[in-house]
Structure 1
Amino acid sequence: MDYLTALSLLHDALTPKSYVEIGCRQGRSLSLSRCPAIAIDPDFEIRCELRSATKLYRRTSDSFFANENLSELIGGAVDFAFVDGMHQSEFALRDILNIESHSSHDTIVVVDDILPQQMEWTTRERRTPAWTGDVYKVIPFLREYRQDLDIRVFDIDVKGLAIIANLNPADRSLQENLPKHEADLSGDVFAFSSIKELRSSLRPESIDSLREYIEVLRSHRSSSY
């Protein structure tokens, strides 16, 4: 299963009321949305048909969140989000935290590029055709500093993905010391020296587990509405 199939399953099961995508590029994942959507990318080139009302913002996510009110634009809390932006861990962290500040308890955030197949893919600057950067570091970081979050990593083809649930828009604990956290992420504090070590820490789950977890999310959301 690739990430597009996984996202399609999530869209079908969650039937979100709103969708936010950071890093939409050609629009392949964005085209899966069936609800009002916002997409943010400084260099998008949409080549797929978008099937829902979508607002496109050609800017970095940092610029977007500094100048726009996401909740006002989307008409409430973000229901479902996909983070696939800049492939450096501190950028991914800021994107997750910015989305969380506009979330509800039912919000689901999916993060791409979490499970590289080769350490050569994890450089902070792109040097290989396949590239995840060091986004994977955000998982052990959040598991250490935000143990209230429900974070699951799944062994999706090529680059894996993570699903984050149980968000809390009132939590500002990481923002209070963000420069230090970003320095730790960009350095070696949460780095691994091998794929074996990385996978051991991230504890990826199987595709079957992903399908089961999606059903749990669907049931939870159905009972809360």
Structure 2
Amino acid sequence: MCGRYTIQTTIEELMTMFELDRVGDIHLTPNYNVAPTHSVPAIINDGGERLLAQFHWGLIPFWAKDKKIGFKMINARAETVASKPAYKGLIKRRRAIIPADGFYEWQAVEGGKQPYRFVLKSGDPFGFAGLWDEWDGPDGPLRSCTIITTTPNELVEDVHDRMPVILPPKAVDAWLDPEEDDAEKLQELLVPYDADKMRRYPVSKSVGSVKNTGASLIEEIPLNSK
């Protein structure tokens, strides 16, 4: 699964990188410990334009009775995203890119779990493949999203058995193409990212608490540190 990530990128950088047409009512500040239920930036195709807007992380389908279901839907599996009832309609018409610049996974070790941060060697931000929906809640419409996961690459596999789908630029274009609705073709994009273009490093176990949000969370530590 992907349950925590980081984003320090500015709106201006995202506009250039993802060729955005519009930016919604969004205030983007560095977040070193993005967690489920947080309000997160995501990119969708809206009327033929690429829109950056705020979304609730944890998918709340339009048919949900309440938003608690979002806790169970922070991730969708690439292998079943085109067949599961909650997702098969969304992959055809409501796809999203969730910008990030790193993500955390925990490795089981003697005495507990050691968190690692995974980033691109280039240091560039990137986009997770995701899906979104809009739920008509008691306080008005709420847009929410889920991050798609796949099997791990060689860098991730000894830490965790899943990794988020990171889309390279050409795949981003295909994923956001409003004319594309072939679920099987889209599913072919949902593959592990090239391990040779990524690196990982150990970080403080403090990242395990969502109350901790400081920049020190992304600092590399010796493995014998806490």
User: Which is richer in strand?
Assistant: 2
**In proportion to residue count, which structure has more helix?**
1
TM-score by length of 1: 0.30
Q: TM-score, with normalisation over the residues of structure 2?
A: 0.30
Q: Which structure ranks higher in relative contact order (CA pairs < 8 Å, sequence separation ≥ 6)? A: 2
